[in-house]
Structure 1
Amino acid sequence: MTSTNPPPSTSPESRVPSSGYPLIAIIAGEDSGDQLGADLIGALRRRYPQARFVGIGGARMQAQGFESWYDIRELSLFGFSEVISHLPRLLRLRKALVARMVQASPAVVIGIDAPDFNLGVEQRLKQAGLRTVHYVSPSVWAWREKRAEKIGRSASLVLCLFPMEPSIYAKHGIDARFVGHPLADRFALVSDRVGARDFLQLPQQVPVLAVLPGSRPSEVARLGSIFIDAARQVAAALPGLRVVIPAANPQVHAKLKELLAGGAHDDAAPLLLDGNAHEAMLAADVVLLASGTATLEAMLAKRPMVVGYRVSPMSYRIARALKMLKTDVYALPNILARVAGLGEKPLVPELMQDDCTATNLAAATLELFHDSERRGHIVAAFEQLHRLLRGDLESHAGERAATAIAEFVDAGQTHD
């Protein structure tokens, strides 16, 4: 990974003028942030053709002309225990990044997701007089709502992906705007199972189960064997079942290949894919997956799902001891369904922590395969939620986010 030592100084003459050709700083964490950042850069560049974009970003952002000062993998952490073990390195990175940002004096600093890192950076930069935006609100509706006040100390503008979020910030006097969820723009309202199966060369008339045990190697190490064992139990009980397992990246692919070693090698063997998670979901009748963004993707694919998850025992004990969670459901489709008034009962089964066993996951998955009426109810609810996330606007989420940021930047230049 890239060193986190303080970088060489940047002279004022090297800065892009803020009037007309702004220097825009973006700090993205993980693959999802890289995709959001790439979409945002493309939309902002249409407004500022000669803008310069700097900060932390991945390959997609760099393909848009972004200058990444550090490796995005430096921020790809999850859970209390993982952050704690990397804390000294993260603190060095934060110190170096803040110093470089202050020296560069961008027109705006946009933190994308990664709140454990970005909010601390944004707060220091805001105190230093820079204008800050946080894109992707932390889950204030699931965790302690007072976090909204902390976010307001870090960002002058919060861009929200979910429609229920701005009202929470409004209680604390914080400017927050719903821009829509970018994933909602990438899925058709009517999904194409036939096309997805043709693409993956899967038979049209057999039951298909997509299995996604996480996008990080640490998640797959914790959950992979449980999910694969569950899939094998489902396959033993459901003749002709085809199992498809998309790997998020090469590291995850290698780990899944290791976990699958020793299994059957006939047509019934799980099909391990390099990527193509969306196609795998669209091709499936049911999806078995780890809690996280993938549950939103499966919802937008209109696929009934079973959700499972386990965090490290330390992370779980800390969250329970501090009473940090304010919700009794965890999967995004269940949270959104409740917010949308579709009922208090969970829309899809979710099995968390000690309940997340191969036997429990397999039983819940088989129930969905055998209950076509319930699957139809879930699909209808997913269609309604998809429309909610897209909003009533014709433009895409990235365009709406860029519009809000451009207004924020231009207002700052007017007052400078």
Structure 2
Amino acid sequence: MTSKPLRIGVVAGEPSGDVLAAGMIAQIKQQHPDAIIEGIGGDHMIAAGCHSLFDMETLSVMGLFEVLSHLPAILKIKKGLIAHFEKHPPDIFVGVDAPDFNLRIEKALKQKGIKTVHYVSPTVWAWRESRIHNIARATHCVLGLFPFEEQVYQKYQVPYRFVGHTLADSIELTPAQQPAREALGLDLTAPVMAVLPGSRNGEVSKLLPIFLATIDCVLQQKPDCRFVIAAANQHRFSFIDSFLKEHAEQLYRQGTIVLTKGNARQAMIASDVILLASGTATLEAMLCKRPMVAAYKLSAMTYKVMQRLYKAPFFTLPNLLANKQIVPELLQDEVNPENLSAHLLELLEGNNEALIHTFTEIHQTLAQNADKVSAQAVLDLIPHV
């Protein structure tokens, strides 16, 4: 008598979660090639062997109030997922980031007797620490990316495992710049700036016009500078391509601005400095050992709420990991072309050896073979495996 194949539910809500989950799925598939893995994922998860039941793009929304217009579609997906997993119960369910969505799924499934894991700790160490009680009710274990998170879970006796970050495992300690420039067709001698306006539609809509104006400011001081804008996916590529054709046609046509899709890491490695939306991209930029300026703009209402609730001293991952400001981080009205270009030019012209040394030390801390460790942590919770 042959045993049934493993059934594992996995849901990621955005591109960064798609990457994390894909590595974990690939490791599970190595041990259990016939495992049935389904849920919601992007291109990376699908390539690793996950069947996506819904389009991940629907969940890629950021902000407390920005999500409201998407709520009917999100609630429909939530209902559909729970119904599917009740009909086809997985041996375990893994919610990858997207806590406002995934913790609700996890709680519903846990109440049905299904094991659940939440991969990527919600920012309970930064705001709304009381959320940890809901996390405990929703999941059997939290897999965390960063070592500083563990103390808050120990405080509340919630199962937690530090697994490191898959990006730290996949990026070399000293990435080679020249091959990346050659692959993107960039000048090997001119200064290069990578520009990453975000992975979500709302981020790009807010930041791209400001980032484009910042490019103009930099060009006034560095006319030989070249810019490579990295689009997170086809949705973002199409939007940015249209925007550039309308607002920066000459720079785009003559190759001063290059647009690439799905090559964010290559663009970062090829660069001398990076302008980017705050988020997981700042971690990747740090691991690529490139100086950066991070920016973010929230809706006015979300910002007012976050001013009251957010207690961490920084909002970018490099600064949080270093426990001090090592990269410029600009928020709301600070995010303007004059401020951004001033910081970028300073980094272009300065000595960044101490910064790169700090980046390297953090990189070594985060390199824990995360894909393998997270996969084993999930399999360890399945009784019959």
TM-score (norm 1): 0.87
Alpha-carbon distance between aligned partners in 2 of 1:337 and 1:82, rounded to the nearest angstrom: 30
Question: Contact 2:66–2:299 (CA<8 Å) still a contact in 1?
Answer: no
Alignment partner of 2:384: what SS?
helix
Alpha-carbon deviation of 1:267? 5.1
Look up the match of 1:406: 379
C-alpha RMSD of matched pairs (Å)? 1.8
Alignment partner of 1:164: what SS?
helix
Match of 2:261 among 274, 278, 281: 274
Structure 1 residues 243 and 140: alpha-carbon distance in aligned structure 2, compared to 1, 3 A threshold: same
Structure 1 residues 173 and 64: alpha-carbon distance in aligned structure 2, compared to 1, 3 A threshold: same
Correspondences of 1:146-295 after superposition (within 5 Å): 146-261=130-245, 262-263=247-248, 264-265=250-251, 269-295=256-282
1:279 maps to a residue whose letter is: Q
Q: Deviations over 1:122-161 (max 9, x none)?
A: 1111122111111111122222222222211111111111
Alpha-carbon distance between aligned partners in 1 of 2:153 and 2:53, rounded to the nearest angstrom: 32
Match of 1:351 among 322, 330, 344: 330
Match of 2:100 among 116, 121, 124: 116
Alpha-carbon distance between aligned partners in 1 of 2:53 and 2:230, rounded to the nearest angstrom: 31
**Structure 2 alignment gaps of length 5 or more:** none
Alpha-carbon deviation of 1:20? 6.0
Question: Contact 1:143–1:324 (CA<8 Å) still a contact in 2?
Answer: yes
Match of 1:384 among 346, 361, 379: 361
Alignment partner of 1:133: what SS?
strand
Question: Contact 1:102–1:130 (CA<8 Å) still a contact in 2?
Answer: no
1:188 maps to a residue whose letter is: E
1:331 aligns with 2:316: yes
Alpha-carbon deviation of 1:77? 1.4
Structure 1 residues 82 and 51: alpha-carbon distance in aligned structure 2, compared to 1, 3 A threshold: same
Correspondences of 1:18-97 after superposition (within 5 Å): 21-97=5-81
1:334 maps to a residue whose letter is: N
Alpha-carbon distance between aligned partners in 1 of 2:50 and 2:234, rounded to the nearest angstrom: 24
Structure 1 residues 318 and 85: alpha-carbon distance in aligned structure 2, compared to 1, 3 A threshold: farther
Alpha-carbon deviation of 1:34? 2.2
Alignment partner of 1:289: what SS?
strand
Q: Which has the higher contact order (CA 8 A, sep 6+)?
A: 2
TM-score (norm 2): 0.94
Which structure's CA Rg is the greater one? 1
Identical aligned residues as a percent? 43
Q: Deviations over 1:178-230 (max 9, x none)?
A: 11101111210011111111212222222111111112222111110101111
Q: Deviations over 1:97-128 (max 9, x none)?
A: 22321232211111111111000111111122
1:309 aligns with 2:296: yes
Q: Deviations over 1:253-311 (max 9, x none)?
A: 23223332353347562112223111111111111111011111110000001111101
**Structure 1 alignment gaps of length 5 or more:** 1-16, 339-343
Q: How many residues align?
A: 381
Alignment partner of 1:399: what SS?
helix
1:296 maps to a residue whose letter is: L
Alignment partner of 1:86: what SS?
helix
2:374 maps to a residue whose letter is: A
2:290 maps to a residue whose letter is: R
Question: Contact 1:240–1:268 (CA<8 Å) still a contact in 2?
Answer: no
1:203 maps to a residue whose letter is: D
Alpha-carbon distance between aligned partners in 2 of 1:238 and 1:80, rounded to the nearest angstrom: 39
Question: Contact 2:275–2:292 (CA<8 Å) still a contact in 1?
Answer: yes
Question: Contact 2:11–2:94 (CA<8 Å) still a contact in 1?
Answer: yes
Question: Contact 1:20–1:48 (CA<8 Å) still a contact in 2?
Answer: no
Alpha-carbon deviation of 1:61? 2.4
The range that moved more, 84-93 or 117-126, is 84-93
